[in-house]
């Protein structure tokens, strides 16, 4: 069997072949450990697989002899007509023919021999479950039990999205092509299906831990105060959003609080000076004090945020958050896009040392991350955090930290 499928195994080096209870199994097609292909010793299967590349990044098959990429889509009514949705896409001086058509015989053969391996991923089994049920409804495969009963598919047919004109399978170029297709198709048709581009594998291990309780137990009584509804909405939105929005909403709390805190603080100081009983006898001195107070408003945003974080945040609680990911924060981080962070602390930093250096280092670092997330103009200089799963994983440990800081600013301001 290894000889018969030699071309397939060379083109899909992430896959392997084994024999179990007289049954040949292709393990990890698409480099997806949730999928097995239970194959029989038939020339039809050899010819099918030897002409396919099964790409990890896509729910698709690349037909190496036909020079086309077939995306596994769905079942549609037999009367469905997609001719109006077919088009040519010219990208990087290459013309690609894009069309919705009946799924290929090769895809149906692969779907027919698909079985879940028992391991789970978040890649949706490459949309093969539904197609497997469809193929099982058409014919039975000897010695292979179907994974589940097949519903009635009498009025349905499998449809795939094809991109023709791909002379060489180059994953990096095809990811770029797929992204541009998604952008333009959605521009012209808001309901156009998007090509699924699977994220790179997460090799970071377990999810980053975060501090659950700031004290050893939950308080038996909480004396709450009414807070600015805008800040409360931001904080709650930060808990429900994706990683980037969690971070940006939390930073927005710091920006908002910094502006209004200093404004109110200056008003309070000036009002006290103007109400001084010795105003007339110490006019010159009080005028100097008023000017000093007003100068605070002229501080740049960086200084304002530093002041608010220092005033309303408990460094001991922030230290607890850092300790949850001490290895991460004591090492440099390099993001796709060129942005690089130096270690926030050293591996032997103590709480006492942290309390003496955390201002301005912590708020300054939070600001740099925020700028790298939102300032697209810095991309030419290689100073951004580019969109993507890999960068989200690297950003993830910073989210509990900035959330804790922003929540303290709300509570104690």
Q: What is the DSSP string of 165-184?
A: ---S--HHHHHHHHHHHHHH
2, 15 Cβ separation under 8 angstroms: no
151, 119 Cβ separation under 8 angstroms: no
* Boundary of a domain, candidates 188, 206, 221: 188
Whole-number percent of the chain with pLDDT over 70: 89
Residue 2: C-alpha distances to residues 8, 86, 252 (Å): 9, 39, 58
| CA atoms within a 13 Å half-sphere pointing along the CA-CB vector of 26 | 30
Question: Do 239 and 179 fall into the same domain?
Answer: no
Question: Do 154 and 64 fall into the same domain?
Answer: yes
Question: Do 246 and 395 fall into the same domain?
Answer: yes
pLDDT at 151: 56
Question: Do 86 and 235 fall into the same domain?
Answer: no
216 occurs within a structural domain: no
* Boundary of a domain, candidates 188, 210, 237: 188
Question: Do 130 and 260 fall into the same domain?
Answer: no
Question: Do 244 and 299 fall into the same domain?
Answer: yes
Helices (H) then strands (E): counts for the chain: 14, 12
Write the DSSP assignment of 113-148 as a string of letters: TEEE-S---SSGGGGHHHHHHHHHHH---TT---SS
250 occurs within a structural domain: yes
pLDDT at 205: 46
Phi–psi pair at 2, nearest 5 degrees: -60, -35
Question: Do 42 and 169 fall into the same domain?
Answer: yes
pLDDT at 381: 58
Question: Do 145 and 290 fall into the same domain?
Answer: no
Please give the tally of structural domains in the chain: 2
pLDDT at 145: 56
Question: Do 257 and 332 fall into the same domain?
Answer: yes
The overall average pLDDT reported for the chain is 87
Write the DSSP assignment of 310-331 as a string of letters: HHH--HHHHHHHHHHTHHHHTS
Angle at CA of residue 54, ends 53 and 55, nearest 5°: 105
Q: What share of the chain is helix, strand, coil (3-state, %, to 5)?
A: 50, 15, 35
219 occurs within a structural domain: no
203 occurs within a structural domain: no
138 occurs within a structural domain: yes
374 occurs within a structural domain: yes
pLDDT at 285: 81
CA dihedral of residues 330, 331, 333, 334 (deg, nearest 10): 160
Question: Do 128 and 259 fall into the same domain?
Answer: no
The list of the chain residues with pLDDT below 70 reads 139-152, 202-208, 261-270, 273, 293-300, 376-382
Residue 148, domain extent: 5-188
The distance of Cα 160 from the centroid of its chain, to the nearest Å, equals 26
In angstroms, rounded to a whole number, what is the distance separating the alpha carbons of residues 221 and 235? 22
* DSSP H helical ranges for 275-374: 283-295, 301-312, 315-324, 326-329, 351-374
Angle at CA of residue 310, ends 307 and 311, nearest 5°: 85
195 occurs within a structural domain: no
* Boundary of a domain, candidates 139, 167, 188: 188
193 occurs within a structural domain: no
In angstroms, rounded to a whole number, what is the distance separating the alpha carbons of residues 280 and 264? 25
Question: Do 332 and 263 fall into the same domain?
Answer: yes
Phi–psi pair at 347, nearest 5 degrees: -65, -20
The distance of Cα 204 from the centroid of its chain, to the nearest Å, equals 14
Question: Do 300 and 370 fall into the same domain?
Answer: yes
């Amino acid at each position: 069997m290894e000889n018969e499928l030699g071309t397939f195994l060379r083109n899909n080096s992430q896959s392997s072949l084994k024999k179990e209870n007289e049954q040949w199994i292709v393990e990890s097609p698409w480099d997806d450990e949730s999928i097995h292909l239970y194959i029989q010793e038939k020339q039809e299967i050899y010819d099918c697989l030897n002409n396919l590349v099964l790409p990890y990044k896509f729910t698709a098959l690349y037909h190496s002899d036909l020079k086309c990429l077939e995306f596994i889509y769905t079942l549609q009514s037999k009367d469905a007509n997609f001719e109006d949705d077919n088009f040519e896409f010219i990208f990087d001086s290459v013309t690609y023919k894009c069309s919705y058509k009946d799924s290929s015989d090769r895809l149906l053969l692969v779907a027919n021999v698909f079985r879940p391996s028992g391991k789970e991923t978040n890649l949706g089994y490459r949309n093969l479950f539904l197609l497997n049920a469809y193929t099982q409804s058409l014919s039975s495969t000897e010695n292979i039990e179907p994974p589940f009963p097949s519903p009635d598919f009498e009025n349905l047919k499998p449809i795939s999205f094809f991109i023709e004109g791909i002379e060489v399978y180059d994953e990096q170029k095809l990811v770029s092509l797929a992204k541009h297709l998604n952008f333009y198709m959605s521009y012209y048709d808001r309901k156009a299906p998007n090509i699924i581009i699977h994220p790179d594998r997460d090799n970071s291990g377990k999810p980053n831990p975060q501090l659950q309780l700031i004290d050893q137990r939950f308080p038996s009584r909480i004396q709450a105060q009414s807070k600015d509804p805008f800040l409360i909405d931001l904080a709650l939105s930060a808990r429900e959003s994706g990683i980037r929005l969690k971070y940006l909403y939390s930073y927005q709390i710091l920006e908002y609080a910094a502006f209004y805190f200093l404004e109110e603080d200056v008003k309070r100081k000036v009002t006290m000076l103007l109400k001084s009983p010795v105003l007339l006898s110490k006019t010159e001195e009080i005028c100097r004090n008023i000017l000093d107070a007003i100068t605070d408003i002229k501080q740049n945003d960086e200084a304002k945020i530093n002041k608010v974080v220092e005033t309303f945040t408990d460094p001991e609680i922030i230290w607890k958050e850092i300790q949850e990911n001490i290895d991460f924060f004591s090492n440099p981080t390099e993001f796709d896009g060129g942005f690089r962070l130096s270690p926030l602390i050293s591996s032997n930093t103590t709480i006492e040392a942290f309390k003496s250096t955390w201002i301005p280092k912590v708020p300054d670092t939070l600001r740099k991350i925020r700028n790298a997330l939102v300032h697209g103009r810095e991309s030419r200089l290689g100073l951004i955090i580019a969109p993507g799963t890999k960068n989200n994983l690297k950003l993830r440990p910073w989210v509990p930290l900035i959330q804790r800081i922003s929540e303290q600013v709300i509570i104690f301001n």
